[in-house]
Each structure stands twice: as C-alpha cells, then as structure tokens.
Amino acid sequence: MREVHVVTGAFGYTGRYIARELLAAGHAVRTMTTSPPDGPAAGRVEVFPLDFQDRAGLERALAGARVLYNTYWVRFQAGGFDQAQAVPNGRALFEAAAAAGVERVVHVSVANPSADSPFAYFRGKAELEAALRGTGLPHSILRPAVFFGGHDILINNIAWLLRRFPVFGVFGDGRYRLEPIHVEDFARLAVVEGRASGSRVIDVVGPESFEYRALVRTLADALGLRRRLVSIPPALGFAAAKVLGAVVGDVLLTKPEIDALLAGLLATGSPPAGATRLSTWAREHAAELGRRYASELGRRRLASPAPRA
C-alpha cells in the first residue's frame, strides 16, 4: 500500500507544490482545507475539511497518515480569518496528529521566530514551534524567509508596481536584507524532510542574499525597466500601501510587516537550502512576472474560514 501523507492547504500556495512533489513520488495524498479543489492536484487528492473545532474530524483526516505537512497560518486579521486563533488552531492540529498516530510532522514556520518578538506573527510562530515540540512527535521545522515563483505575493507585486510606476519608494535606507527561496525548492526540501528521522530546525533560504534596494533594482533590470528608487519614511510608505490596497481591494503590506522587514527578519545568514537564483529566475520569467497583481484577500475569498462546531 502507498504511504499516506497529509498536507494542510494543498490547493493553496506552498501546499500545492508540496502535494505535487508527493504525488510525483507515488504517495497517496490527503488535504485538510477550506478551499475548493484547484490546480494540478485537484481530483488526485482526498479532501477533508479543516475544522479546528472538530477534533474527531481532524483525527479522522489524519488516521493512517505517516507524515503531516502543516502550512496553515494566518498572515493578518481580515476576511473572516482570525489571527489570534492561529496558535490554538495549530496546537489542536498537532494534538490530533499525535492522537491519530502520525509518525512525523513537517511544519512551515518563519525565519527568526521569537517568543520575545514585538511582532505577533513571529511571536505566534515561536509559540507554535514550542507546541509541536511539546507533542513529542518527530518533526522538521522549516523557517522560510521570502518565497518567489508560482504567483507569490511579495516578489510578484514588487514587479507589478515596477511595471506601473516610474518611481518606486523604498522604506528607509533599503539596506535591510532578504534571502528569497523558490517555492519549488522549498517543496522538494519539505518532502525530503518528510523522509527524515529525529527532529530538526532548518532555515530555508535561497542562494542569494539581497539588500532590499538591490532586490528591487534586480527585478527592474530583469524586466528591462529604468525606474528611479527613492527612500521614503516607513510611515509614508505604509500610507501609500493603504491607498494602493484600497484601489486593488487588498492589503499590500501591514505596518508590522514593514517593521519586520526593516528589522532584517527576512534574512538569517544560513547556508542556502535551495539552488534557484532569483536574479536568474526573474530574467527567465520576465514575460509573465508582475503582469497580474497577486491578491492575498483574493486567495482568501476562494476559501472560507474553518467552520465552527
């Protein structure tokens, strides 16, 4: 019999690439999700509801599974998704995995989580890592910084802005660093870690490290665009992001995300975990990069919040 692997959000962003890798490896794949089937995995993945209030339902979805790949999180409070519930929801999922006899968990965290972080996102990720350790389940905790590829949000939308405006505002001096990893490199690593033993934590960064200003310039050059980069106060940048968000019906960036970026939390200085170079990839995909705006709230509208009991 084929091994059963469970991916939360197999029709979402990172989850769909993990599911694709698992299917290519010949595994039986289930997903726990609130989204309708979409993408190459649709029809090939067994679908269960992701209802954190239904403990028995979570255990049924996880019964007989060897590995759980957890991509669930809430980026910000909006669209019916409750960021304050992200940690208790994740804890309930891990407890259900332990009760169902899952052998291993591959958990998607974030670069530089800290229980003492001033940012709820990074603080919550640290709390959830601790909750996973508390189950005693063997696990791999993957800590990505920034994703690119496959209609990501940040890199794609920087390119979208570059295509539409002759001037690009850089928060502060633009010297803070980012270490983006391609989503397919990340998915391959996740599946490798599903076969591992013991427990480990891995900083998941790509082979290139950019200062933010240099990253924007790299994207503009890849698109063949001459753009003026100007330093702006973060408060002004946040105000501009709110105005643009209202125009496109989305949340471009939150203030905590801007502050975390300025604090250098999207880089770790760790050895690369992927081989795809953003500078090369951007040139190769210049024809489609940034052609369409990638909407966070648009993705959420395709899903609905987990139902309540």
pLDDT score of 306 more than 50: no
Choice among 17-21, 28-32, 103-107, 249-253 with the minimum mean pLDDT: 249-253
246 falls within a domain: yes
- Residues 120, 212 share a domain: no
299 falls within a domain: no
CATH of the domain at 225: 3.90.25
H helix or E strand, kind and range, residue 178: strand 177-178
Average pLDDT of the chain is: 92
pLDDT score of 52 more than 90: yes
CATH of the domain at 115: 3.40.50.720
Give the sign of the dihedral formed by CA 237, CA 75, CA 294, CA 215: positive
Under a CB-based contact definition with an 8 Å cutoff, are residues 167 and 134 in contact?
Answer: no
- Residues 263, 196 share a domain: no
Q: According to the model, what pLDDT value does residue 207 have?
A: 98
Give the span between the Cα atoms of 301 and 143, in whole angstroms.
27
What's the average model confidence in pLDDT over 58-76? Answer: 93
Q: According to the model, what pLDDT value does residue 97 have?
A: 98
- Higher-confidence position of 83 and 211: 211
* Token digits of residue 193: 């870690």
Q: According to the model, what pLDDT value does residue 77 have?
A: 59
What's the average model confidence in pLDDT over 129-156? Answer: 95
What's the average model confidence in pLDDT over 144-161? Answer: 94
- Residues 174, 63 share a domain: no
- Residues 107, 85 share a domain: yes
Q: According to the model, what pLDDT value does residue 308 have?
A: 30
Specify the DSSP class assigned to residue 78.
B
Number of H helices and number of E strands within the chain?
11, 13
What's the average model confidence in pLDDT over 270-290? Answer: 97
The total number of structural domains that make up the chain: 2
Strand 104-108 with 28-33, pairing? unpaired
80 falls within a domain: yes
pLDDT score of 264 more than 70: yes
Give the span between the Cα atoms of 288 and 62, in whole angstroms.
38
What's the average model confidence in pLDDT over 4-28? Answer: 95
- What number of CA atoms fall less than 13 Å from residue 307's CA on the CB side? 11
Give the span between the Cα atoms of 286 and 282, in whole angstroms.
6
Residue count of the chain, please give it: 309
Domain carrying residue 110: 4-147+181-206
- Residues 187, 263 share a domain: no
